[in-house]
Amino acid sequence: MPEGLQRGTVTVVLLSDKKAAVSYQPIERQKVYELIADQLLRRIGERQLHPGDSLPTERELTHAFRAGRSSVREALRMLESKGVIENRGNGTFVVSGYANPLNSSVQLLLSLDQATMLDVYELRRILECEAAGLAAERHTDSHLALMDAAIEEMAAALASDDPSRGARYIDADLRFHLAIAEATRNGVVLHTMDALRGVIRRALMSIFLVPESPERSFEQHRAIRTAIAARDATEAREAMRAHLVRVESDVHNALTVGSPAARGGRDG
């Protein structure tokens, strides 16, 4: 026991004793699996390994890292629990598809009643108004093309009488907002927006049937796009705010009415 700890209270000493007792493992060993996991993570981050690619086998990794099999296993388990790789059986691991660690966290917050759909919409307003401003300053033509494609798809969905027009419209709506997030060229903004996509989608499904809601929202998307294309950050923020405030109030009304669809959205 280091001297410093003995000067603490009895409780501290006891806790420290307990901690020491359960963590008596060779420190190098723990570091080895973390180093292995770090290296694999870097390969994936640098796109040397793409989603769907198989990782080398456990035996190959053991050999390549000149590490113990248990360290390799532990590293793989750690990456699997983070959703970075998936176990395909027979000891085969592949790089997961586009995994967004924030995604499951938002779902979890809603499931645990630590957040409501209205909180999510408030966050949208905080995030997306400024994102629209940044998009006005930083976008490229390819971002505008993505926004245009989404707007066209929204128009096509509105014009159709297909039963899936609601889902089609909402998917295009979300693509429009993701294009703006992408145009900020801030990866955290994009990932946060992407993480909200699933829960927002469910809430939007509950308001698609609100009379004139999609029609009004369509015009608002065009106004946002126009402001961004004109590189008018102030107008882009305002146009986004007007859009989100209206959608938020529609969602609020849908939730207050408490339709089954709205509840489904809230329970996430």
Query: Where does this chain bind Zn ion (CB under 5 A)?
Result: 173
Q: Which is nearer to Zn ion, 35 or 149 (CB)?
A: 149
Q: Which is nearer to Zn ion, 173 or 250 (CB)?
A: 173
φ/ψ of residue 46, rounded to 5: -85, 5
Please name the residue that has the structure tokens 């359960």: 22
Q: Which is nearer to Zn ion, 86 or 148 (CB)?
A: 148
Pairing of strands 93-95, 85-87: antiparallel
Q: How far apart are CB 176 and Zn ion at their closest, in Å? A: 6
What ranges in the chain are assigned the alpha helix state H?
3-6, 10-22, 27-45, 58-65, 69-81, 101-111, 117-138, 141-159, 165-183, 187-207, 213-229, 233-257, 260-267
Q: Which is nearer to Zn ion, 173 or 194 (CB)?
A: 173
Q: How far apart are CB 31 and Zn ion at their closest, in Å? A: 47
Q: Which is nearer to Zn ion, 74 or 173 (CB)?
A: 173
Q: How far apart are CB 191 and Zn ion at their closest, in Å? A: 19
**Torsion, Cα of 259, 262, 264, 268 (10° steps):** -160
Q: Rounded to whole angstroms, how far apart are CA atoms 84 and 69? A: 20
Paired tokens of 45: 């981050």
Q: How far apart are CB 174 and Zn ion at their closest, in Å? A: 8
Q: How far apart are CB 177 and Zn ion at their closest, in Å? A: 6
Q: Rounded to whole angstroms, how far apart are CA atoms 249 and 235? A: 21
Q: How far apart are CB 243 and Zn ion at their closest, in Å? A: 6
Q: Rounded to whole angstroms, how far apart are CA atoms 126 and 123? A: 5
Q: Which is nearer to Zn ion, 110 or 174 (CB)?
A: 174
The residue number whose beta carbon is nearest to Zn ion equals 173
